Chain A
Amino acid sequence: MANTKTDEKLQKIAKDLLESGEVSLIIGYTKGSNSQRMRPLFVTRTEDADKLSFSPNAVQDLAVFLKKAEVKKFGKIGIVVKGCDEKAVNALIQEYQISRDNIKIIGVECNGVIRQNIADKGETNVSESTVYDKCLICEEHIPVLYDFLVESEEPKLVLSGKVKPYSEIARLESMSSEEKNAFWANEFDKCIKCYACRQACPLCYCSRCIVEKNTPQWIDTNSEETGNAQWNLIRAYHLSGRCIGCGECERACPVNIPLMLINEKMAIDVYNMFGYKSGLDINAKPVFGVFSENDFNDFIK
């Protein structure tokens, strides 16, 4: 497939950055294993920059690679990010995982990415019924922070309001505790503990995850009722106030657990309680990293 204008702009930026020595690695997208898939590309040589591309199939959050030791070795890195993914970069900077000085943010204006499972079945249209829920509530079609911006050639996403993003949250909120329990027991029963949720998450960067610690054994090792529930709930709590909503955990999950219902609910609750949204400001302190006298404290009874 021919280069789009977006592709050309990306390639030019990457080439310039590599040539000038400002970065030694560019993490971007390239065409994937079928015409409806994109995949990560690691460019260290200017001649490979021509393979960079972007499309509504660029589903991956490439910020996930910033936590990887093999990638960190490159030092100064340029990264292609959508608005949602860019928030992960910000959160990583806020949490001192990466330094702003070591990263060149190549922001891409994004008007929604097509859900991968339907793209695999041939869906090519970007519309409110084909994109992820995160795209329907997106307020960062243009990343909040960037060193370079590549504007989109795609038409803006038209929202009729007919498709209700994360509508399951409202349904779950209306349930009794027993019903909620039954809902999640059914979902967690599917979990196989492949840890794709953790590995695909740009903010799950612990060098040794709590699930891998056994003195004491915090989380049952089984992949049954207890182990699965403990794992998914503890992970959810570790992401509360931090999750930037890229939805990679849910996309990576091979057994389709609706993990974003938890993460999005947590994000809504944190916003309602603390007025904080994760990943919007690199100078803000992480919400659970600071104490304020005005903090919500109704839970103390």
Chain B
Amino acid sequence: MEEKYFEISGENLKSFIERIIADDFEVIAPIDKDGDTFYGKINRFEEANLDILLPKMSYKEYLLPKTETLFEYSFSGVNTDIKDGLESVAGANQKRVIFGGRPCDAGAGPIMEKVFNWDFKDEFFNERFKNLTIVSIACEKPDNYCFCTEMQLSPESSYGSDVLLKKAGDKYFAIVTGEKGLNLIKPYINLFKEITKDKVPAENDWKKLFEIEKTKSFLDKNFEHNYFQQRFLSCIGCGVCTYTCPTCHCFDIQDEGNLKEGRRIRNWDSCQFGIFTLHTSGHNPRVTQGDRYRQRLMHKFKIYSEKFDKYLCVGCGRCSRNCPEDIDIKEVAKDLADMA
């Protein structure tokens, strides 16, 4: 489907959200909580904080839950019964809308979709992704940690959004990118006014601070560079960068249960943890935190793009804002580009 363009007043946007909530949609939006802002379910439009740049965590958990049951098992005599975990995901809420996220967060879904489908198809991810409708709001004022423009997106990018809203005074322009977005707004179409593309203001000319291709070309040639060991002496090896990241998707598979019954689950995991690559023999290819942070950079800016034609980073800057030791990935990526 070709993109469609609409106008909607602030008042009507409020009505739209309240009507979809009334029609049993689960609406996930940035909400103020514990002195910060996180994504969470809203029951009223006013609960959404649409002024915040980005919630502290991404909404990755709606695509890849922090713990997900792959299957349940039970033993009875010589028989083993297995209950496929996909059954519950197949019934995943098809009326779930992420509202008020930003273009960076929206970009994460289609990027991650690639690794979950390059050969074996991960239907857990696919089902959740398919059933999620993304209504994003373009950013007007990115902060110093943002670098979506460098990451081939922009504060106004519609990539990954089903509907992208652009604020203009007290109204919004709505870019509907496909069937999913159109299906969402169709029953409430009287709140929207269809317009032609030329009525939508052109994108701002967002400036780049560095070229990500240069970052990659440094990484291509400098695996052994001392920068990594020196720069990441200050890395304490927690999983904050990877767990708050919208695109980091590494996971662990574990069993929980007893001799009668249990389940196999997958949990978020992080390349920043020392035991991530530890062999049973005691050998560990990544000994230092420099080795591990380098892996994160490699995966984001080299490995993934070579494999899947997309960088594994949307430039949201969460890893920088949330890093307890103030490691700023934008600054690092620029450092690397400057050294290339």
Contact = CB atoms under 8 A, between A and B. Distances in A.
> Are A and B in contact, CB atoms below 8 Å, in the complex?
yes
Given A195-B238, A196-B238, A223-B267, A71 B324 contact: no
A193 B268 contact: yes
Contact of B38 (A39, A68, A200, A255): A255
B234 A40 contact: yes
A212 B278 CA distance: 11
Interface stretch (A11-19, A92-100, A173-181, A246-254): A246-254
Contact of A222 (B36, B229, B256): B256
B296 interface: no
B38 to A, nearest CB: 7
A212 to B, nearest CB: 5
Interface residues of B, number: 44
A194 interface: yes
B324 A33 contact: no
Contact of B240 (A60, A254, A256): A254
B57 interface: yes
Interface string B227-252: 00110011011111011100000001
B127 interface: no
A199 B67 contact: no
A256 to B, nearest CB: 4
A200 B239 CA distance: 11
A254 B290 contact: no
Contacts of B254: 221-222
Contact of B325 (A40, A193, A224): A40
B331 interface: yes
A252 B240 contact: yes
A33 B145 contact: yes
A117 B32 CA distance: 13
B186 to A, nearest CB: 36
Contact of B256 (A33, A39, A68, A220): A220
Interface in A227-249: 227, 248
A32 interface: yes
A201 B130 CA distance: 40
A232 to B, nearest CB: 15
B283 to A, nearest CB: 15
B322 interface: yes
Contact of A251 (B230, B234, B324): B324
Interface of A: 32-34, 37-42, 60, 64-65, 68-71, 117, 120, 192-196, 198-200, 208, 212, 220-224, 227, 248, 251-252, 254-256
Given A34-B144, A195-B273, A200-B236, 14 more contacts: A32-B326, A33-B145, A33-B320, A38-B326, A60-B325, A117-B36, A195-B239, A221-B254, A221-B267, A222-B256, A222-B265, A224-B67, A254-B243, A255-B38
22 contacts: A33-B144, A34-B144, A39-B234, A40-B326, A42-B233, A65-B234, A65-B236, A68-B236, A70-B229, A70-B233, A192-B57, A192-B66, A192-B239, A192-B268, A194-B270, A200-B238, A221-B254, A221-B267, A222-B265, A254-B56, A254-B240, A255-B38
